[in-house]
Structure 1
Amino acid sequence: MEKINVKPAQGGIHSNHGKSHLMIKNTIYLFLLVLFGALCTGCTEPSETRSLVNILLIDAPGDFDEVWVEVEGVEILPAGSRGSEDNANWVSIPYQAASNMVLVSALIDETQLLVGRTELQSGNISKIRFLLGEEVYLIKDEERIDMSMTPDIEELLELDLDITIESGYSYDIILDLDLIQSVVADQNGDYVFVPHFRAFVSNGLSEIAGTILPVDIAPHVFAISATDTFSTLTSDDGGFFLSGLPEDEYLFKIEAPSGYVDTTFNLMTYPDSTLSLESITLQEITSSE
């Protein structure tokens, strides 16, 4: 948790690596960066008691050329005046951009999309809801394939939270959408969008970052514990980034494409830390292997 001064940011895709061309990969992260500062636009109460909320989207995708989603924003449910949900009202944070269509599969390796921001009274946040538009499609083998939506999609877009926010501090709230599970092929060869989210606060959790060579093979990267599995693919420069991992021992696995040998080893993660691995070069399979 960090105390900061906040300057408004513009909507759009942001990359820590300055890349303008983005690729696709396999677990989506809707990254809600919740920031607290002295900024208060149109407030009726002192800014010291309010929080500025920035919503950002990140991803680690699946086996498709592209996945496009119409993003309308998010809603969050803070505690009501008596500290409960009984008299609480949803706060809408719209996504305002030239186009609401977002190439979610491109948001990988710490690349982020600012979805929106608002100010909140300090207190508890109990729920978050992703606002999805009507248009969802993928590109596979240069062909656009429109996806239908699962009948229970409204339930899947709303998640429980238990976050207490304090004025003057920043919080990272992340919505993690797993594209591998979210894009489902039916027996007719059509695709259904079944969003699989997890929501968490990054405080107290860990990250794993590194680079896999050769840079152009895009292997699957997994961190597997006794209770959960986290996954991603690499970006254009071979970089990968896994976030929101609880402290634990993990089997780290690189599932290499055809022609290369899989790599596995064990590692530990610790709270509020980033484990930066040395560059990993995958071994090429020779004719004798």
Structure 2
Amino acid sequence: MNRLKIFLFLLGIGLFGMGCEGPDNSPKALVNVLLVDAPAKWDSVVVEIQGVEIDFVQSGRQGEIQKIWMPYEPAKKSINLTRLVNGNALTVSRKEFQLGQITAVTLKLGTSHALYQGDTRYPLTLPSDITDYSQDLKVDLEAGISYDLVLDFDLEKSIRVTQASPLKLAYNPTIQAYTSIGRSELNGIVFPTELKPAIYAISENDSLSTHTNSGGAFLFKLSPGRYTLYIDPKDNRFVADTLINVEVKSDQRTTLDRITLSRR
């Protein structure tokens, strides 16, 4: 009987201790992973997304890299990338992190990818069945701050025409990762609006690209600096245009004057 009492007493202490454990109140940061598109000339491109994996080093644990899995939760994993223009972004996942440093991000894709032009579907085959696409990214997480990690899926660079007729394509997903902190917005409108030209923001040896939406509007999120903007109409009836020395200032939105492409 005494043994039973001792057992029950120890069990009660254990349960009491478990009940007294409060929530984890250690300082944290919120990490949002967003997907944006730098679309190509195609009507639509649909890709399958599983989620992202973050390489993370917690403060005080230098050299110990944790792999943090952030799944894309919806049951339907297929995303039409060409809708993600002019500031539209898809939230892939969000999660609270302990304080520390993010060192890399890996976008994990599924295997179902396709391009649509008119009523025709063209399957896109991943090279060597590779589904993981990683980018180094240094982000120091501080308490109470929300961080947007942006994955820019550049379709202009990802899809290459290897044969025009019949159409054959080479597909190699090209993704750039960055944090929105320290970036500024550059936006404008291109006429005629029905063209949906490709627009390139070029700085030194690097470039980002996007397209306009149905209203002719486009938006970049860029590091402060000076850029050359090249507008490719993707239509032989119109002449390409170039804007030189476009300044993007820190923590400001730069709105360009209306851009009108000339007919040949």
Pair 1:115 & 2:92 matched: yes
Q: Could you say what secondary structure the match of 2:195 adopts?
A: coil
Q: Which has the higher helix share?
A: 2
Task: Specify the alignment match of 1:64 in structure 2.
Answer: 42
Match of 1:283 in 2: 262
Tell me the alpha carbon deviations over residues 4-31 of structure 1, each in whole angstroms, 9 at most, x when there is no partner: xxxxxxxxxxxxxxxxxxxxxxxxxxxx
Aligned pairs for 1:31-70 within 5 A: 44-46=23-25, 49-70=27-48
| Aligned-residue offset at 1:68 | 0.6
Q: Whose Rg is larger?
A: 2
Per the TM alignment, residue 85 of structure 1 is displaced from its structure 2 partner at its CA by 4.0
Alignment match, 2:199: 221
Deviating beyond 4 angstroms after TM superposition, the runs of 4 or more aligned structure 1 residues are: 186-189
**Which residue is equivalent to 1:79?**
57
Identity %: 32
1:56 Cα deviation after fit: 2.1
Separation in structure 1 between the aligned mates of residue 61 and residue 123 of structure 2, nearest angstrom: 43
- Matched residue SS, 1:272: coil
Q: Deviations over 1:207-226 (max 9, x none)?
A: 21011122111112122222
CA distance in 1, matches of 2:95, 2:207: 32
Residue-pair matches, total: 239
Write the deviation string for residues 196-246 of structure 1: whole angstroms up to 9, x where unpaired. 112112222232101112211111212222221221111011100111x23
Paired with 2:150 and 2:35, the residues of 1 have a C-alpha distance of 8
Query: Judging changes above 3 Å, is the alpha-carbon distance between structure 1 residues 85 and 272 closer, same or farther for their aligned structure 2 residues?
Result: farther
Q: Give me the CA root mean square deviation.
A: 2.2
Checking the alignment, whether the CA contact within 8 Å between 1:65 and 1:142 is kept in structure 2 is no
Quick one: structure 1 residues 262 and 189, their matched pair in 2 at CA, closer, same or farther if it must change by over 3 Å?
closer
Of residues 117, 135, 147, the one that matches 1:171 is 147
1:194 aligns with 2:172: yes
Unaligned runs of 5+ in 2: 1-21
Q: Is the 8 A contact 1:73 1:93 kept in 2?
A: yes
User: Is the 1:60–1:109 Cα contact (8 Å) retained in structure 2?
Assistant: no
Which residue identity lines up with residue 97 of structure 1 in the other structure? Answer: P
8 Å Cα contact 2:41-2:198 kept in structure 1 = no
Instruction: Give the CA deviation at 1:278.
Output: 2.2
| Deviation of 1:166 (Å) | 0.5
Deviation at 1:98, TM superposition (A): 4.0
State how far apart, in whole Å, the 1-side matches of 2:123 and 2:223 are: 36
Work out the CA distance in 2 between the residues paired with 1:54 and 1:225.
27
Q: Which residue is equivalent to 2:218?
A: 240
Partner of 2:240: 262
Quick check: 1:141 aligned with 2:140?
A: no
Letter in 2 for 1:143: T
TM-score under structure 1 length normalisation: 0.76
Distance 1:272 1:203 in 2: 9
- What displacement does 1:101 show? 0.6
Q: Deviations over 1:58-109 (max 9, x none)?
A: 21201212111111111112104643343x3211111112411100121111
Match of 1:7 in 2: none
2 CA distance for matches of 1:186 and 1:209? Answer: 32
Structure 1, unpaired ranges of 5+: 1-42
Instruction: Give the deviation of 1:170 after TM superposition.
Output: 2.2
Query: 2:177 aligns to what SS in structure 1?
Result: strand
Q: 1:132 to 1:222 in 2, by over 3 A?
A: same
In 2: Cα distance, 1:81 partner to 1:264 partner: 46
